[in-house]
Amino acid sequence: MNQDYIKPDNWSIIEEGFDTDSVKSSESLFSIGNGAMGQRANFEEQYSAETFQGSYIAGIYYPDKTKVGWWKNGYPEYFAKVLNAPNWIGIDIEINGENLDLNTCVKVKNFRRELNMKEGWYHRSFEAILQNGTEVLVNVRRFLSLDLDEVGVINYEITPLNKEAKIVFKPYIDAGVHNEDANWEEKFWEIQNLNHTENQAFVTARTFKTHFVATTFMQNSILLNGKNKKDIPLKVENNNEKIQFSYEINILKEEVATIQKIGGYTVSLNHENTLLAAQNVIAKALKIGYDQLLQDQINAWAKIWEMSDITIDGDVKAQQGIRFNIFQLNQTYLGKDSRLNIGPKGFTGEKYGGSTYWDTEAYCIPFYMATKDQQVARNLLTYRYNQLDKAIENAEKLGFKNGAALYPMVTMNGEECHNEWEITFEEIHRNGAIAFAIFNYYRFTDDYSYIPEKGLEVLIGIARFWHQRANYSTKREQYVILGVTGPNEYENNVNNNFYTNYIAKWCIHYTLEQIQKVEKEYPQDFTRIMNKVKLSSSEMSEMKKVADNMYFPYSKEHYVYLQQDGFLDKDLVKVADLDKSQRPINQKWSWDRILRSPYIKQADVLQGFYFFEDHFSKEELERHFDFYEPFTVHESSLSPCVHSIQAAVLDKMDMAYTFYLRTSRLDLDDYNKEVEEGCHITSMAGTWMSIVEGFGGMRVKNNALHFSPKIPKEWDSYSFKINFRNQVLKVSINKNKTQFSLEGNSGISVFVNDKKVVVEPNSFVTV
Amino acid sequence: MNQDYIKPDNWSIIEEGFDTDSVKSSESLFSIGNGAMGQRANFEEQYSAETFQGSYIAGIYYPDKTKVGWWKNGYPEYFAKVLNAPNWIGIDIEINGENLDLNTCVKVKNFRRELNMKEGWYHRSFEAILQNGTEVLVNVRRFLSLDLDEVGVINYEITPLNKEAKIVFKPYIDAGVHNEDANWEEKFWEIQNLNHTENQAFVTARTFKTHFVATTFMQNSILLNGKNKKDIPLKVENNNEKIQFSYEINILKEEVATIQKIGGYTVSLNHENTLLAAQNVIAKALKIGYDQLLQDQINAWAKIWEMSDITIDGDVKAQQGIRFNIFQLNQTYLGKDSRLNIGPKGFTGEKYGGSTYWDTEAYCIPFYMATKDQQVARNLLTYRYNQLDKAIENAEKLGFKNGAALYPMVTMNGEECHNEWEITFEEIHRNGAIAFAIFNYYRFTDDYSYIPEKGLEVLIGIARFWHQRANYSTKREQYVILGVTGPNEYENNVNNNFYTNYIAKWCIHYTLEQIQKVEKEYPQDFTRIMNKVKLSSSEMSEMKKVADNMYFPYSKEHYVYLQQDGFLDKDLVKVADLDKSQRPINQKWSWDRILRSPYIKQADVLQGFYFFEDHFSKEELERHFDFYEPFTVHESSLSPCVHSIQAAVLDKMDMAYTFYLRTSRLDLDDYNKEVEEGCHITSMAGTWMSIVEGFGGMRVKNNALHFSPKIPKEWDSYSFKINFRNQVLKVSINKNKTQFSLEGNSGISVFVNDKKVVVEPNSFVTV
């Protein structure tokens, strides 16, 4: 039922054979990125069949006007749109007078794509017979440099196979691009100027409204049989938004004509003069040269893999899946720039207009904490700290006061960037995840300094929000939280969502504890913060009253917390009993039908059990898992990983493995039939968690790493590394034993199934 | 706090003094209409300050694309927009070389508007001093002919007061109009052709997408001191979308120059050749002549008032209010064309894009039944019958099957024309009102024939919908209806809205009764219908099970039915304890805050008590009224009338009177601060109900009219007429007695406070 055209391979994503129907999916799957920019796997040469063109620059967006049927107070004026950036990859190819176009060739043979994740490049090759009878072999390699992150490189080789050929390479840069997500085919880039010098061209354009300036550039070199050819006369064509060069070269059969194109973007986020910056970065790249740029790329990726690789033996598909996830996460965000964050589709598509969701705090931070140094996670926390004022403004728009903060559901710049009331106004649990990430960061890193420096202000804003958002129910004699949307977005405007109420209560208690601790241990910070936020002791005690007396819906019949009030009124038909033709329900059913159904899009009560695992017994977890799992349709990419982890805890290893495959190969196997639109980047961190926390059973308790290693029966062994407080611990698990090895200078104690194990540096311990 | 610039008057709406700030409000209040077209009170001459231009043609709309953040299955592809039609009223005026523009005159004196409701015309007069020093007196009368309903007439008189003047009249027709409600200033009319002959001009234009064709026309005559002046040379200017004539006339001080402009629309809904139709209708109007057209208008309105007038003595504001309501209803819909219906803003604004809401069935039908003949009400019912197939399609889109029908929330053509899920998919109670109207029609008219002919099919479709929409709650062992929006739109996606559950239960029971009755009494119709709808006895018994076992939320503490599950969890602060600065909450509060508040936009539980009054005791009504009224903010125009009726039933006459004033002068006094956008037409029928059913206590029980007359202490007396089964009964009530008089041939028995009274034709009975 799912797609299966991707060849299993340990280190590469491989497609063989040309199929116009899978072009858009492959354009997503073979996307490349370097944290600063990204490029869908669009062809360089002309392609006249269906394609979804996409090239994205981190931090560049457009504020589209919010339009709704009946305007509701509190709607943000704008919602953010990811913009397709000007095209830098384009190279039209003319062979003996005919344009090369895979859609019009007489025949395409041996078409192959490879995304080499180990080395960080994308390669495409094919043989084509043109209508004029010329047969050519084409080899194209493309990568986005990790070191020079404004630069992309293309090496495009053509070999005529059956006769000599006149080849015209026509590389271009073009700011006349369209967005798929445009209401009226309107354009979002305004051209500022076009320049070119010999072999180099620059188009500087500015986004409408947001006024981000980007210079898109290219530099071309032509090679014959691998040697630079400098004597080719250059022809230039340009219009208002595009510059195209044209290089003609006549070659014999089996000779190789190559164009090396260096391209990319320099943007006003980083440079005052983007044109000058473009000229500089081209000079730098030229000096390094193509071969060395490629070698640097391989080295840079080797460094990333050294720390973040997970190996799986005995199961190629699982191995390929996890590496694809780790690779994509690193293509999307490298933690260098605290203005950036992790968009749900990364650089692989336009969808989910904004860049930052609660996905970052709930799913991505654990991955980055364990596979990078702690500064990266701190940058992600700081991103929210820097947006605290806007979160307070956002809460004020909704009628909260006195410094209460509601972080946006979707944001580019701290402002709310999405416009549906049931999401924007009501999916308030996101505030909880942002507080939880602060707790989690400290738990993992032991770096408490973040809390007095920055975190406590965020916590206080969030706690104030929950305090004001709850109301007292005289009927229940407890505090209730009405009108919310929980993590399960297949419910809207419900009362007393267990997860939301629980995390609200926790946020207030945790904040009050941190206030006490900061008061005692960081008196100067305490004074500074209290002067700023003006939190009185009576406000604190009111807050505490709310948290102490929070209501949770509970079924005495089933002994489970209810997802929300009224859940048991639903027609409780299990997913297994649902006709398969009805799935996925979000494509088959109308919204009201989804809402009144019992079906759960993604972990909701179970998300609470995941965050607060140690608040509940294993029996409680099992009861809730057994109650909710049968109603869960996993139509969110964020769902199966949590279920996989919990299934592993509960020794349901077959289920855990099934969920693992689903999360790790969600895009490769296209479970949700939407990979065309881009990959699900943020959930890929969940895949990592499902191995490390699920199968490996890793937890941090009382300042120590704990493991309860398990292994799916399909695997021989697996391994991963954890950067725990600047010590890198490698964990290798097979069916019989777990082996630990440690880099660094001092030993570490870990717990395996609650038994203490001491691991010395640079040596193995086997359990 | 509310506006008060409208002068109290028994028969006219009068404004005195010119204020640019009230121009848009007055443009709504002084709107004119004739059931087929309508015109806001825009100035004929140029006006350079703020104005909201609007001219509307019944049945002509544009399907705008539905745009939402995240698309949800079941959304209609389009939602309908009321279109501003080409301008036929425009007359630019040049006086001694200067354009007349009230915004640029040196002085405007004695500005006065009058909407004469008795005679059906709008008059405007003023004296202006132009910048060139010329002083002029202007008198303009305008009306839309009831008899020739494609025709509007303007008589525009200018008298120079201080010197002779060269007057240039420049009448035009213009299809280059804009909609206020346009996303991108786009146009909705495509010009087809422009023609003119001497004194006549025609612009034929077609709406984009829907392809309605309208010829906008004008015919002009110039008069000097009341005498036709034929020798004026005509100048014509036209561009692609506009034709403008220009007539120059030099007159002495205190002479009167007049232009008589006949204009309007002929449309493809009624004519194959709209241009020819326009020429014909101009000829007809010219033949009748201005004076007779005006006299015919007065006569036609006299006929309407003869039947529908309500008199109130001793309270001019109340008198003016009720007449304004009756006048506007008759301007909007006259019951001649069963393709048309009653839009919430009539012809006074663009808002509420579609034309037909449940307002028609719940509020308007009683007015039209009692003040016109029963054919008008039957036309309104037939409108829905004709759209049954589309209602079935609409239900299918939402996953219902087997002939279940869900009527659209907003429609122009039977398709759903609105695009918010919480309204479109969930405000399903509208289906109940449509069934109730069938019951109500029979109750009032005794014309059962409609049910076997048409009504039963509608009832079966609706009953099937309710049957499928409810689900069994194993927890409650009853049927529940989850995820709805009740009449109170300040709640969305709630469970077990009392009103919805109640009307669902009633619909099923009522339908099953009608099936039995039709089977017995109309066996042929029964067979025809059953062959068509294929309703099995098992489906009927399943249906009955749902209705028999419907769950209703109830508070044992307050002894009231709850508006929905969870209502008592709210923070139950009464409206009276709410800070005034917070009102109206729909302008001050964000949507989530409104949703979780206890505030009720319009009668909800009480709407159920209104429809099904005889199902509940007076004590029950009082308990529910006392419970819900304090939380009701009446921010819907449909709210105060129901509360007024119930307050009268409960002898709370002060409240009843306050609500009456609020409903009857909602627009005149602009309670909701939005009259600029247009008047609230459908709720005006509620005003009528609040006198007839509220103060008069009229009910139909067991085929007889019942009254329980009351009178507000502010009034001396009041009277109204009821067309009950082709007998016209006049009811006059003062503080001491009630008088009945009857037109027609045979007597009638009515009940006054449950005592029988026999009224003979053409005589009085006093009680």
Which tens digit of pLDDT belongs to each residue from B300-313?
999 999 999 999 99
B178 at interface of A, judged by CB pairs closer than 8 A = no
Residues 12-41 of chain A with CB under 8 A from chain B are none
Three-state secondary structure of B173-196: EECCCCCCCCCCCCCCEEEEEEEE
**Is B595 a residue whose pLDDT tops 50?**
yes
Contact A596 B67 (CB under 8 A): no
Q: For residue B205, what are the contacts with CB-CB under 8 A and spacing of at least 6?
A: B86, B175, B189, B190, B191, B192, B213, B214, B216, B241
Residue of B577, B589, B458 whose CA lies nearest to B518: B458
Contact A590 B398 (CB under 8 A): yes
Q: Say how far apart CA A405 and CA A742 lie, in whole Å.
A: 42
A273 at interface of B, judged by CB pairs closer than 8 A = no
| pLDDT computed for residue A65 by the predictor | 75
Q: For residue B403, what are the contacts with CB-CB under 8 A and spacing of at least 6?
A: B392, B460, B461, B464, B533, B534, B535
Residues 311-370 of chain A with CB under 8 A from chain B are none
Examine residue B712 and say whether the peptide bond preceding it is cis (omega within 30 degrees of 0). Answer: no
Task: Identify the active-site residue in A44, A489, A635, A693.
Answer: A489
| pLDDT computed for residue A183 by the predictor | 58
Mean pLDDT of all residues in A222-235 = 92
Report, in angstroms and rounded to the nearest whole number, the Rg of chain B calculated over CA atoms: 27
Contacts across the A-B interface (CB distance below 8 Å): 142
Q: Pick A483's closest partner by Cβ from B426, B476, B596.
A: B596
Residues 590-619 of chain A with CB under 8 A from chain B are 590-593, 595-596
Contact B425 A570 (CB under 8 A): no
**Is A351 a residue whose pLDDT tops 90?**
no
φ, ψ of residue A65 in degrees (nearest 5): -70, 135
Among B10-24, B72-86, B143-157, B363-377, the minimum mean pLDDT is found in B72-86
The CA distance from A266 to the nearest CA of chain B, in Å, is 31
Q: Pick A475's closest partner by Cβ from B397, B568, B589.
A: B568
Dump pLDDT digits (tens) for A317-336: 999 999 999 999 999 999 88
| pLDDT computed for residue B181 by the predictor | 72
| pLDDT computed for residue B230 by the predictor | 87
B483 at interface of A, judged by CB pairs closer than 8 A = yes
Running DSSP on this structure, what letter comes out for residue B35? S
| pLDDT computed for residue A179 by the predictor | 84
* Candidates A181, A394, A552, A569, partner chain B, best to mutate (most B CBs within 10 A): A569
The CA distance from B555 to the nearest CA of chain A, in Å, is 10
List CB contacts (< 8 A) between B68 and chain A.
Answer: 68, 420
Residues 462-481 of chain B with CB under 8 A from chain A are 471-476, 480
The CA distance from A594 to the nearest CA of chain B, in Å, is 10
**Is A719 a residue whose pLDDT tops 70?**
yes
* Candidates A573, A590, A635, A677, partner chain B, best to mutate (most B CBs within 10 A): A590
The CA distance from A415 to the nearest CA of chain B, in Å, is 16
**Helix (H), strand (E) counts: chain A:** 22, 34
User: Which amino acid is residue A690, in one-letter code?
Assistant: S
Residue of B nearest to A398 (CA): B590
The pLDDT mean for chain A works out to 95
Q: Are A257 and A222 in contact (CB under 8 A)?
A: yes
| pLDDT computed for residue A713 by the predictor | 96
Dump pLDDT digits (tens) for A590-611: 999 999 999 999 999 999 999 9
pLDDT tier at A2, thresholds 50, 70, 90: low
- CA torsion angle for A539, A540, A541, A543 (degrees, to 10)? 90
Q: Say how far apart CA A11 and CA A521 lie, in whole Å.
A: 49
Residue of A191, A241, A246, A180 whose CA lies nearest to A213: A191
Residue A756 C-alpha from the chain's centroid: 36
* Candidates A475, A591, A595, partner chain B, best to mutate (most B CBs within 10 A): A591
* Candidates B70, B396, B636, partner chain A, best to mutate (most A CBs within 10 A): B70
Residues 484-503 of chain B with CB under 8 A from chain A are 492-496
Contact B592 A492 (CB under 8 A): no
Q: Pick A569's closest partner by Cβ from B420, B475, B570.
A: B475
**Is A585 a residue whose pLDDT tops 70?**
yes
Q: Pick A399's closest partner by Cβ from B79, B495, B590.
A: B590
Dump pLDDT digits (tens) for B445-489: 999 999 999 999 999 999 999 999 999 999 999 999 999 999 999
Q: Say how far apart CA B467 and CA B402 lie, in whole Å.
A: 11
Mean pLDDT of all residues in B543-558 = 98
More confident residue, A39 or A2: A39
Burial (Cβ within 10 Å: 0-12, 13-18, ≥19) of residue B623: middle
Q: Are A177 and A84 in contact (CB under 8 A)?
A: yes
Six token digits for residue B36: 């087929």
Could you tell me which residues are beta bridge partners of residue B311? Answer: B719
Q: Are A175 and A291 in contact (CB under 8 A)?
A: no
List CB contacts (< 8 A) between A399 and chain B.
Answer: 589-590, 593
Dump pLDDT digits (tens) for B600-618: 999 999 999 999 999 999 9
| pLDDT computed for residue A1 by the predictor | 40
B183 at interface of A, judged by CB pairs closer than 8 A = yes
pLDDT tier at A182, thresholds 50, 70, 90: low
Q: Say how far apart CA B360 and CA B346 lie, in whole Å.
A: 12
Contact B69 A592 (CB under 8 A): no
Contact B495 A569 (CB under 8 A): yes
Mean pLDDT of all residues in B217-223 = 97
* Candidates A64, A70, A589, partner chain B, best to mutate (most B CBs within 10 A): A70
**Is A539 a residue whose pLDDT tops 80?**
yes
Instruction: Give the percent of chain A with pLDDT over 90.
Output: 87
B566 at interface of A, judged by CB pairs closer than 8 A = yes
The CA distance from B358 to the nearest CA of chain A, in Å, is 18
Residue B693 annotated to the active site: no
pLDDT tier at B519, thresholds 50, 70, 90: very high
List CB contacts (< 8 A) between A596 and chain B.
Answer: 471, 482-483
Among A95-104, A218-227, A408-417, B316-325, the minimum mean pLDDT is found in A408-417
Q: Are strands A135-144 and A121-129 parallel, antiparallel or unpaired?
A: antiparallel
B570 at interface of A, judged by CB pairs closer than 8 A = yes
Q: Are A459 and A514 in contact (CB under 8 A)?
A: yes
List CB contacts (< 8 A) between B489 and chain A.
Answer: none
Mean pLDDT of all residues in B354-368 = 92
Dump pLDDT digits (tens) for B632-684: 999 998 899 999 999 999 999 999 999 999 899 999 999 888 899 999 998 89
A573 at interface of B, judged by CB pairs closer than 8 A = no
Q: For residue B372, what are the contacts with CB-CB under 8 A and spacing of at least 6?
A: B307, B308, B334, B335, B723
List CB contacts (< 8 A) between A501 and chain B.
Answer: none
Q: Pick B425's closest partner by Cβ from A425, A471, A590.
A: A590
A574 at interface of B, judged by CB pairs closer than 8 A = no
The CA distance from B291 to the nearest CA of chain A, in Å, is 45
Q: For residue A528, what are the contacts with CB-CB under 8 A and spacing of at least 6?
A: none
Q: Count how many Cα atoms sit within 13 Å of the Cα of residue A644 in the half-sphere of its side chain.
A: 29
A568 at interface of B, judged by CB pairs closer than 8 A = yes
Contact B589 A67 (CB under 8 A): no
pLDDT tier at A561, thresholds 50, 70, 90: very high
A483 at interface of B, judged by CB pairs closer than 8 A = yes
Six token digits for residue A287: 């000096």
Q: Are A208 and A190 in contact (CB under 8 A)?
A: yes
**Is A570 a residue whose pLDDT tops 90?**
yes
Mean pLDDT of all residues in A171-176 = 96
Contact A471 B570 (CB under 8 A): yes
- Ramachandran category for residue A202: left, alpha or beta (phi over 0 → left; psi -120 to 50 → alpha): beta
| pLDDT computed for residue B187 by the predictor | 82
Give Cα separations from A293 to A31, A120, B27, B561 (angstroms): 19, 12, 70, 74
Q: Say how far apart CA A693 and CA B558 lie, in whole Å.
A: 51
**Is B391 a residue whose pLDDT tops 70?**
yes
The pLDDT mean for chain B works out to 95
| pLDDT computed for residue B1 by the predictor | 40
Q: Pick B67's closest partner by Cβ from A183, A474, A595.
A: A183
Dump pLDDT digits (tens) for A741-765: 998 788 999 999 999 999 998 878 8
**Is B182 a residue whose pLDDT tops 70?**
no
Among A527-536, A563-572, B224-233, B275-284, the minimum mean pLDDT is found in B224-233
Three-state secondary structure of B246-281: EEEEEECCCCCEEEEEEEEEEECCCCCCHHHHHHHH
B514-523 burial: b if 16+ Cβ within 10 Å, else e: bbeebeeebe
Contact A473 B568 (CB under 8 A): yes
Give Cα separations from A486 to A108, A404, A492, A636 (angstroms): 49, 20, 8, 13
| pLDDT computed for residue A365 by the predictor | 96
Q: Is the dihedral of CA B645, B651, B652, B654 positive or negative?
A: positive
Burial (Cβ within 10 Å: 0-12, 13-18, ≥19) of residue B351: middle
Task: Identify the active-site residue in B135, B241, B489, B629.
Answer: B489
**Is A70 a residue whose pLDDT tops 80?**
no
Residue of A nearest to B589 (CA): A73
The CA distance from B468 to the nearest CA of chain A, in Å, is 11
Six token digits for residue B449: 């024939």
Tokens 């495959």 label which residue?
A661
